[in-house]
């Protein structure tokens, strides 16, 4: 049984968005926000340590963004993830037409809505985080019927599943975390799109196909820069690329590099301090 560490982070003043923005720079699996703290979930295989997290919080103190903080730590088995998740999950209106709900919640679908049933198993992508909402809103705009989509860092599979629901013909979901394979598979089955999604475990190199019509990657800045050239190899002329997992200050270096390798910057969306960027292959 794989174990996970749960770090609860308290701060004065408490700012959930600020703390979440800091911890997503690390190799974490998920974040839950509570009234007075956030909980972050880290696989026992992760290289992230409590000292690294503490150093980032000390930096916030030095910049006078928080006055003080404290961290608690516990170890849980992965089977307890859903139990903790269910305590705080609600139905999420992610965009004008996309609604995300956990399997244990009921929801009456309204006209023109697409309802995604998503349960996590230590995988990122519940629809709560701003970056996921941003990508979903952009998928609504850019998905065309019959497209072939690649989702890099697929987590729960939410973006791959949404792509199919919005009209894509096929979606390839790839993530290096082996937990994501089962999670994505189960969510694809529940949403009745399993025959249109190929699920892979590994890095982008494991994807055999090329010439995708649209590629999504909701990952942190450093990874997006590292894989940029590999993303380029998976495109065809006029392919759309949607990148998120980014904060406002990440825009300039990401746009500069993707422009350099032949992508034209199209637009960005902003939600709180987070952004999503859209490019087109020239």
Q: Where are the domains of the chain?
A: 3-85, 123-281
Question: Per-residue confidence at 176, pLDDT binned at 50, 70, 90?
Answer: confident
Candidates 1.10.1060.10, 3.30.365.10, 3.30.70.980, 3.40.50.720; correct CATH number of 3-85?
3.30.70.980
The pLDDT value recorded for residue 163 is 98
pLDDT at 69: 95
For residue 79, the model assigns a pLDDT of: 57
Q: For residue 86, is pLDDT > 70?
A: no
Q: Say which range, 88-92, 105-109, 123-127, has the weakest mean pLDDT.
A: 123-127
Cβ–Cβ under 8 Å, residues 107 and 101: yes
- Average pLDDT (87-105) is 83
Structure tokens that stand for 197 in this block: 């999604």
Binned at pLDDT 50, 70 and 90, residue 88 comes out as low
Residue 5: both structure tokens together: 């560490």
Residue closest to 268 by CA, chosen among 249, 282, 173: 249
- The percent of residues above 90 in pLDDT, for the chain, comes to 60
* pLDDT (0 to 100) of residue 83: 62
CATH level 3 topology of 123-281: Rossmann fold (3.40.50)
Q: With pLDDT > 70 as the criterion, what percentage of the chain qualifies?
A: 93
The string of DSSP codes covering 153-182 is S-TTSHHHHHHHHTT-SEEEEEES-HHHHH
The Cβ of residue 210 has, within 10 Å, a number of other Cβ atoms equal to 11
Determine the pLDDT at residue 108: 86
Q: 3-state SS of the chain: helix, strand, coil percent to 5?
A: 35, 35, 35
């Amino acid at each position: 049984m794989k174990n996970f560490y749960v770090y609860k982070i308290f701060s004065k003043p408490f700012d959930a968005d600020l703390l979440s923005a800091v911890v997503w720079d690390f190799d974490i699996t998920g974040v839950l926000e509570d009234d007075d703290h956030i909980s972050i979930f880290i696989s026992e295989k992760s290289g992230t340590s409590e000292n690294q997290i503490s150093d980032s919080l000390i930096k916030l103190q030095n910049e006078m963004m928080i006055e003080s903080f404290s961290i608690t730590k516990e170890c849980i088995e992965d089977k307890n993830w859903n139990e903790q998740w269910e305590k705080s999950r609600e139905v999420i209106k992610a965009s004008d037409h996309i609604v995300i709900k956990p399997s244990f919640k009921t929801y009456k679908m309204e006209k023109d809505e697409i309802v995604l049933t998503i349960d996590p198993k230590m995988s990122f992508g519940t629809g709560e985080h701003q970056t996921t909402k941003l990508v979903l809103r952009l998928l609504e705009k850019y998905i065309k019927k019959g497209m072939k989509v690649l989702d890099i860092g697929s987590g729960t599979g939410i973006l791959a599943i949404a792509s199919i629901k919005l009209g894509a013909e096929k979606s390839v979901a790839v993530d290096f975390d082996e937990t994501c394979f089962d999670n994505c598979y189960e969510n694809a089955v529940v949403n009745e799109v399993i025959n249109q999604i190929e699920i892979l475990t590994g890095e982008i190199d494991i994807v055999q196909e090329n010439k995708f019509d649209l590629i999504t990657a909701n990952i942190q800045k450093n990874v997006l820069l590292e894989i940029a050239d590999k993303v380029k190899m998976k495109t065809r002329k006029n392919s759309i690329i949607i990148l998120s997992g980014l904060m406002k200050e990440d825009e300039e270096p990401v746009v500069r590099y993707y422009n350099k390798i032949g992508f034209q910057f199209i637009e960005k969306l902003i939600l709180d301090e987070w952004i999503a960027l859209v490019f087109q292959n020239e």
